[in-house]
Structure 1
């Protein structure tokens, strides 16, 4: 990996900031980003990535500052490399992810009326029962692929049921989500491949989002009813629901997969979880910090501003390394250690501020239920081969995770 650093800023940028010849969207970086993260954190609070002509922040303080200042660093111009003020987006922008207040506030209010802690508490018993059934079944097999057999299977079961989607076609959720997140990066091979695979899923996703399509008792139908009452058109009602179908599965799949990998590689941590299954929520929280499913997001400077004393011209793209912030030694003790007893609250794995992930409560519920089931129903979880990373311009997770499970009853 070429992490060469110079201190000469490009001529169009005032001041002198570290300039890095580093490609955060290369296969090499995506497979092992931690060396690059450390290079950026050491180089300075703000760096310039020469290859893409963007500012980048990799320390916790600066990532948090950009995330929290939604009026200066806007989302409406795209949360990827493309600037919607200059380039037409490939699909209508999300009313939640790619919008700013007051439009974002109004859309979020519609969803928040339904998706709230009280609803999640009412769902927990059923979600836990389904997690127990899936974990018991896969544990009985012995050797499994933790991704396909559990990390993908469980969310693809409970999430579509909850939304009220058709049973046929649910396999479209993963390639569609992969496409959305890949297109936040540059137009590279990953972008093109994801667009090709994901485009086949678009008709099913579009159909499932239409008013009257989701099960009338599900979350999707509730979204339509609340959005209609708030004056949203049928097209915008569908866009609101589409935001959840875009991001409601992949990130949770990666979180669960990474949690299982971490527990298999850190048997003392799994023993601590078995000793107190109530630590399942804390274990999932530490996973999101330690192995952040969402690695990066962009913001765009809506006017001339500055970050940590560095002048940022209007229209500049700022690449935030969320995963790097979550391992910043300025914020965390022994940040590269996986420790389920850590107070991991405050990580930026689900974002921060007004744009914090609206579905994070659901992701946490699913992750907690799976890890709780593993703690109670599995005696031992061990690696059974080499895991394979799934390459994505924005997400980091596993494509394959060979594990050996020993049921608690054996």
Structure 2
């Protein structure tokens, strides 16, 4: 029988700039303080060990997403936009949208995209490597998703630059209303208006993911009211997270030249490399859930309606789960990391992100003998995401 005890109280702000710059010391403090801690600053319970984070992610009945996956509690507060049918909904409301999107983004769709994306990555890398030094954030990590993913969804060419500030603000709003949220607010009416307009049937090409979602509405699999919200989920969660995942894997190789040599020798490790980078850097650092009834976890009781803050990045470096967790290592099996979530709400587009990474890394590995940092990279701060603002690389051609 588990002994229930009060969790350790910690007065730390995980959304403060010092922790956004380097969250690892706080992660260690939280893990070592116990399986559950209490963050006095925000009156929330925190989970930083792998076992408890995994348990909460997979227990959608006990820890709901429908009250919001951010600090804001939708039981008492009105969200700033209609909640996501994927991220901020639970069964049964979550079921039909999830089933439709899982089919749209399934293996058959990715097989159709594969050759084109590989060729597109080759062209992009050829163009970028005309310079031996460049900032990999805009030139590779942002450029590739912004050219292939909106095409796959069926978006037109104009206005795609709006996707990045929209996603950045969305993930900021999962935290407190701090300076990062306030910075993005002035542009949101314009940017979110553009994004919402792209979700309409007549704005989407007839051969893309978006049109397939609307076709599902025509079949009655989902309602016509749900269709644009599902398209919006693609646009809000399908770009920024991939951008930061690609930047993470490029940084990982620049900082670990031995691992780059291994990838060049064994190019089939490209997908393993992406998952290991997602584990190692955790582009999505945190998510919240809300207790449904009093819930016991890690020897503590979370009262009904109270928020828990799950530190995905801390779980992904928990030495109780991973050997040498601070190392980026292609010999590791990174499956089981929680960088894409886990359970019912696990990222439905993760295989799309893996294909984008595989295409980019494969093209780069053919042309670059070595990748190294050309200058100190600069972090981009976000309340939820771990990202780079700049990633200056120097490439030594093969």
Q: Same fold (TM over 0.5)?
A: yes
> 2 CA distance for matches of 1:191 and 1:145?
26
Give the distance between the partners of 1:108 and 1:231, measured in 2 at CA: 11
Q: 2:257 aligns with which of 254, 263, 267?
A: 267
* Structure 2 residues not aligned, in runs of 5+: none
Partner of 2:90: 100
Residue by residue over 1:79-134, the C-alpha shift from the partner in whole angstroms, topping out at 9 and shown as x without a partner, is 00000010000000011110000111111111122211122122111111111111
State the match for 2:175 in structure 1: 185
Check conservation: 1:78, 1:299, Cα contact below 8 A. yes
Selected match of 2:235 from 225, 237, 245:
245
CA distance in 2, matches of 1:16, 1:167: 54
> Which of 189, 203, 217 is the aligned partner of 2:193?
203
The Cα of 1:231 is off from its aligned counterpart by: 5.5
Q: What are the residue-to-residue correspondences of 1:313-328 with 2, within 5 Å?
A: 313-328=303-318
Contact 1:140–1:406 (Cα < 8 Å) also in 2? no
Q: Distance in 2 between matches of 1:308 and 1:335?
A: 22
State the Cα distance separating 1:356 from its structure 2 match: 0.2
Counterpart mapping for 1:78-227 below 5 A: 78-227=68-217
The answer to whether 1:235 aligns with 2:235 is no
Alignment partner of 1:330 out of 320, 334, 354: 320
Measured after TM superposition, the shift of residue 362 of structure 1 is 0.4
Pick aligned residue for 1:292 from 278, 282, 304: 282
Please tell me whether residue 402 in structure 1 is matched to residue 374 in structure 2. Answer: no
Quote the residue 1:357 is aligned against.
347
Q: Secondary structure at the match of 1:22?
A: coil
State the distance in 2 between where 1:328 and 1:208 align.
Answer: 41
SS at match of 1:92: coil
Q: Which of 336, 347, 357 is 1:367 aligned to?
A: 357
Q: Is the 8 A contact 1:328 1:335 kept in 2?
A: yes
* Map of 1:391 onto structure 2: 381
Report the secondary structure of 2:111's partner residue.
helix
Structure 1 gaps, min length 5: 1-13
CA distance in 1, matches of 2:269, 2:277: 12
1:254 and 2:261 equivalent? no
Q: CA deviation at 1:135?
A: 1.2
Give, in whole Å, the separation in 2 of the partners of 1:181 and 1:201: 14
TM-score by length of 1: 0.94
Tell me, yes or no, if the aligned pair for 1:136 and 1:407 is still in contact at 8 Å: no
* Counterparts of 1:228 and 1:133, CA distance in 2: 37
